[in-house]
Amino acid sequence: MKKPPSPIDFFSHLAWLNGKPLLDVIEPYRRKIFVDALYTFDPDGYPLYNFVLTGRAKKNWKTADLVLAGLYRLLVWESDEDNAGYILANDEAQAGDDLNLAKKLIAVNPVLKREVSVRRKEIERKDNGSILAILPARDIAGEHGKTYLFIGFDEIHAYRNYDLFEALAADPFRRDVLMWVTSYASIYNTPGAPLFDFVQQGKAGRDPKMYFSWYAADYTTDPASEHLPPEEKANPSMASWGNPGYLEQQKTRLPTYKYRRLHLNLPGMPEGAYLDAEKVMDCVARGRRVLRPQEGVKYVGFVDMSGGSSDDATLAIGHEYEERGILDLAVSQTGRPPFNPRHAVKKFARILKRYGVFSVTGDRFGGEILRQDFQDQGITYRVSDLTKHQIYEALEPIINGGEAELLDVPILHEQLLGLVIRGTKIDHLSGEHDDWSNAAAGVVVKLLRKQQVKQPCPAPSWGYIEGDPIPTLDEILNPHPEVPPEDRWIIE
């Protein structure tokens, strides 16, 4: 591969929006990121890094650097194929801001204007037709198989899953592909949320192809910033603002959780979040996905059923131990919606029996038909005497007091942390779900309600022939040959 000019060489020919030389507004720490991330090569002459994660607080040039990196890859990089690239923003407004920044840079730099054509949502290189498209993420979601030289993700703090990253995975045949992710801290600070996972990978240093740069109040990859006060550590470009009172002003105007996330680059929660993130995560038993049934333990079950069109049907099972609510299992129907809810009933009934549970609690969903379906499987369905709102009200002091042990299941954490106060009700955000959290909360609250009279735990009747062994963990987790394929289940 032919070695191109360096990003610093490229930037030395450009001006910033105010007409100043671009290099005059790129501080030394940002220059180092550009050189390290874009211009470090392996022994074969290919880029050493194919994944860049840069994080710092708001107003620290993250988006500007992403756009500059995209323009460098579009215009300067010597690729064996085309130089196509994408920059993905969260929504139309953010995509418009990113695109306007790129257009303004081109407008003030004749050397760029000569080389490209500016279109509505993309910039096209005149000599070979390669484009840099700047789009809202939803405009490209679900489009698999795209090939590119550069892809940038601007602010992934609200990403809750890997769908976009899976859809836009790099072409394995292109050794010079680069994915550049920039963000401040995630709303969803739980395993399974992409930004959380990426930061943990960066801190662990296990991926030799990943370049990790992070500036936060509690952690930085930059030794020169390590001993600075928290505000300065998270805001390495603070001197460029020319406004020393800016952060104090923001602190007085913003809720604490929002100030921490935006300006200290510390994990936050959705606006109006109901549960404390740290308290929830303190209740998680790390690495525990399921607990197998044990003799002498009395279990309870709670379901959140679904019609099968969009929401999951979920089952949670737990037991009380030393005045703590222990969650043993959380599972959904087999496969994603749409599904047949009667198959979910059959699946849940088999699981309940393995835990010696012959009565399950849920809401009024489905009326008599659902209750009869469970009854046909040998399970009594009882309607909860608490509403969803009341269950979550009862859950909060349990979580805050550390009286629950939750499973290490990312979708469960995600839904608990996504609960908000909407008007007078505790509910999920619009467009999100709470089926897993409903079932888990229902079990924990059912176990620990103060008015509940604790009884000694008799050995459960397992539903097997006398003398048969208690099911093994393998039996709990894996399909059984006598089960029809559509009814088989796994721990998701």
Model-level pTM greater than 0.75? Answer: no
Domains of the chain, residue spans: 7-263, 279-487
261-274: average pLDDT: 82
Indicate the pairing of strand 85-89 with strand 150-154: parallel
Residue matched to tokens 């801290």: 185
**Alpha carbons 373 and 308: distance in angstroms, whole number:** 15
Query: Does the pLDDT of residue 88 top 90, yes or no?
Result: yes
Q: Do domains 7-263 and 279-487 have the same CATH topology?
A: no
Long-range contacts from 399-404, C-beta under 8 angstroms, 24+ separation: 399/275, 399/276, 399/279, 399/280, 399/283, 400/276, 400/279, 402/279, 402/282, 402/283, 403/323, 403/324, 403/325, 403/448, 404/283, 404/324, 404/325, 404/326, 404/327, 404/444, 404/448
Q: In this model, does residue 38 exceed pLDDT 80? A: yes
Q: Which CATH architecture has domain 7-263?
A: 3-Layer(aba) Sandwich (3.40)
Would the pLDDT of 290 be above 50? yes
The answer on pLDDT for 251 being more than 80 is yes
Question: Does the structure show a pLDDT above 50 at 340?
Answer: yes
pLDDT tens sequence across 407-436 = 988 788 878 988 888 888 998 877 778 999
Report pLDDT digits (tens) over 354-369: 999 999 999 888 778 8
Identity of the amino acid at 95: A
pLDDT, mean over the chain? 86
Residue 489 tokens, joined:
């289940």
Pairing of strands 404-405, 324-332: parallel
The residue assigned the tokens 């909860």 is 384
Query: Cβ atoms within 10 A of the Cβ of 279, count?
Result: 15
Q: What is the CATH number of domain 279-487?
A: 3.30.420.240
The pLDDT score that the predictor gives to residue 480 is 34
What does the pLDDT read at residue 103?
Answer: 95
Q: How do residues 303-329 score in pLDDT, each as one tens digit?
A: 999 988 888 999 999 999 999 999 999
Is the pLDDT confidence value at 294 over 60? yes
Residue environment code for 14-37, b if the CB has 16+ CB neighbours within 10 A, otherwise e: bbbeeeeebeebbeebbeebbeeb
Which pLDDT score, from 0 to 100, does residue 168 have?
A: 86
Judge whether residue 447 has pLDDT over 60.
Answer: yes
Is residue 256 over pLDDT 80? no
Output the pLDDT for position 477: 44
What pLDDT does residue 142 have? 54
> Quick one: pLDDT at residue 364?
85
pLDDT in tens, 463-490: 333 333 444 444 444 433 333 333 333 3
Higher local confidence (pLDDT), 265 or 253: 265
Q: Are 436 and 250 in contact (CB under 8 A)?
A: no
In the prediction, which pLDDT does 460 show? 37
pLDDT at 459 (0 to 100): 36
Instruction: Tell me how far apart the alpha carbons of residues 327 and 288 are, in angstroms, rounded to a whole number.
Output: 10
Bond into 293 cis (ω within 30) = no
Tell me the C-alpha distance between 305 and 312, whole Å: 7
SS3 of the chain: CCCCCCHHHHHCCCECCCCCEHHHHCCHHHHHHHHHHHCCECCCCCECCCEEEEECCCCCCHHHHHHHHHHHHHHCCCCCCCCCEEEEECCHHHHHHHHHHHHHHHHCCHHHHCCEEECCCEEEECCCCCEEEEEEHHHCCCCCCCCCCEEEEECCCCCCCCHHHHHCCCCCCCCCCEEEEEECCCCCCCCCCHHHHHHHHHHHCCCCCEEEEEEECCEECCHHHCCCCHHHHHCCCHHHHCCCCHHHHHHHHCCHHHHHHHHCCCCCCCCCECCCHHHHHHCECCCCCCCCCCCCCCEEEEEECCCCCCCCCEEEEEEEECCEEEEEEEEECCCCCCCCHHHHHHHHHHHHHHCCCCEEEECCCCHHHHHHHHHHCCCEEEECCCCHHHHHHHHHHHHHCCCEEECCCHHHHHHHHCEEEECCEEEECCCCCCHHHHHHHHHHHHHHCCCCCCCCCCCCCCCCCCCCCCCCHHHHHCCCCCCCHHHCCCCC
Are 184 and 155 in contact, with CB atoms under 8 Å apart? yes
**C-beta of residue 270 within 8 angstroms of C-beta of residue 305:** no
Residues 108-161: tens digit of each pLDDT: 999 999 999 999 889 999 998 999 999 887 776 555 567 899 999 999 988 878
Q: What is the pLDDT of residue 271?
A: 67
**C-beta separation of 378 from 348 below 8 A:** no
Cα–Cα distance for residue pair 58/233, rounded to 1 Å: 13
